[in-house]
A = this chain, B = another copy of it.
Amino acid sequence: MDVKQYMQQLGQQARKAGREISKADSGRKNLALLKIAAAISADSAELSLQNRKDLQAGKENGLDAASLDRLELTPARIEAMVEGLKQVAALADPVGEITNLCYRPSGIQVGQMRVPLGVIGIIYESRPNVTIDAAALCLKAGNACILRGGSESIHSNQAIAACISKGLAEAGLPQTAVQVVETTDRAAVGELITLKEYVDVIVPRGGKGLIERISAEATIPVIKHLDGICHVYIDGKADIDKAVAIALNAKTHRYGVCNAMETLLIAEHIAGKVLPILAEKYAEKGVELRGCLKTCSLVKNAVRATEADWHTEYLAPILSIKIVADIDEAIAHINQYSSAHTEAIVTEDYTLARRFLREVDSSSVMVNASTRFADGFEYGLGAEIGISTDKLHARGPVGLQGLTSLKYIVLGDGHIRQ
């Protein structure tokens, strides 16, 4: 069978399974999640075995250390998958929830019911645990899904897929509700993102290159974020201790993540106090500083930032720093350079905090908290299937809510329009 035919078949099966799963009651969906968790626990030796094949192949193909690390399924990571499944099972079922059901002057009742989107296509890179996170969220939200992991994790993903199939079958749900693409042929991605008849939304997870390509070529709506150029603004009325803790955590807690701070903005008024302390701490961590002229005059070890720096997501121990006059300049800078992912203000000023929250147009806007909190687990979504910096549909970490939509329901008693 050729790839086009194969993907068409997955699509047809997913559409059919989606109809089934959309009707499944919460108990059965939760049972499936727990049965999958049990299968993962029971088959952990097999998972490790298959994962070692991927690791071996990855080494032979010259994967870098970071990629090999992401690829590895350690016992702790297998246990985390099991825990993740249990957490999603414990979440409230979003499907069928009816809100705002009100009587209208005509006598009809109008409300909104939360319903599954249908079929979700997810395309991701090396981390095999995404297979479980994505399957669990799609299942709980009543969607079928087609998962396309990276070719470097094919054995791990197929072993996980076997556990998912087993769990679905044991719960009496169609095994085609979660399908993991079996071929590593790259053409499968091209097919998946154009299966308009069978797939309702595509969620790409991975590097910017992958996501840009998918966004450009997909004929199906895509939920995505491209960049995480996140800002922290230390206002003139910031508490110095909080400012230092947040600016340090936002940059150095992890470097290669989308919610790490890439640019630090500091009010001129407080820069002399806070910047030398921060510069020393960044130096201890080996963070390279690239600053505006004023920054460089305050910090010896900073080099001059270029225009390109303000546009750059470093994903590395590098930080750009700009000293601004006030919140107006800070917000103007953010509006111009931010990728609309996550921005934070550090301030004790009530009025400025309120303004920042309202006026900064990003998927997450924070006061006195580290940008690193922009995450589905931290927000209480149970897990996240991705982060959206688009404005339509879902913004920020995408959990169960983003995998559903609201339809209108109308209840009458023979009502007709006058």
A contact set with B: CB distance below 8 Å: 19, 22-23, 96, 102, 104, 106, 108, 110, 113, 115, 117-118, 200-201, 221, 239, 241-242, 245-246, 248-250, 253, 335, 344, 346, 357-359, 361-370, 372-374, 378-380, 390-393, 395-397, 405-417
Within the complex, the shortest CB–CB distance from A407 to chain B, in Å, comes to: 5
Residues A358 and B23 in contact, CB atoms below 8 Å apart: yes
Counting every copy of the chain, the complex holds 2
Known A19-B335, A379-B104, A392-B117; contact A416-B372, beta-carbon cutoff 8 A: yes
Residues A373 and B242 in contact, CB atoms below 8 Å apart: no
Note all chain B residues with C-beta closer than 8 A to A372: 416-417
Majority DSSP secondary structure for residues of A touching B: mixed
Residues B368 and A411 in contact, CB atoms below 8 Å apart: yes
Within the complex, the shortest CB–CB distance from A331 to chain B, in Å, comes to: 9
Within the complex, the shortest CB–CB distance from A138 to chain B, in Å, comes to: 14
Residues A110 and B379 in contact, CB atoms below 8 Å apart: yes
Residues B410 and A406 in contact, CB atoms below 8 Å apart: no
Contact of A367 among B115, B362, B411 (CB under 8 A): B411
Residues A370 and B416 in contact, CB atoms below 8 Å apart: yes
Note all chain B residues with C-beta closer than 8 A to A241: 414
Residues B117 and A391 in contact, CB atoms below 8 Å apart: yes
Residues B200 and A410 in contact, CB atoms below 8 Å apart: no
Give complex CA distance A358, B365 in Å: 35
Residues A110 and B380 in contact, CB atoms below 8 Å apart: yes
Residues A410 and B102 in contact, CB atoms below 8 Å apart: no
Contact of A416 among B19, B245, B379 (CB under 8 A): B245
The 27 sampled A-B contact pairs (Cβ below 8 Å) are A19-B335, A23-B358, A23-B359, A104-B378, A108-B369, A110-B373, A200-B391, A201-B391, A221-B392, A239-B414, A241-B414, A242-B413, A245-B416, A248-B416, A249-B417, A250-B416, A363-B407, A364-B408, A367-B410, A368-B415, A369-B412, A369-B416, A370-B412, A379-B408, A395-B405, A395-B407, A396-B408
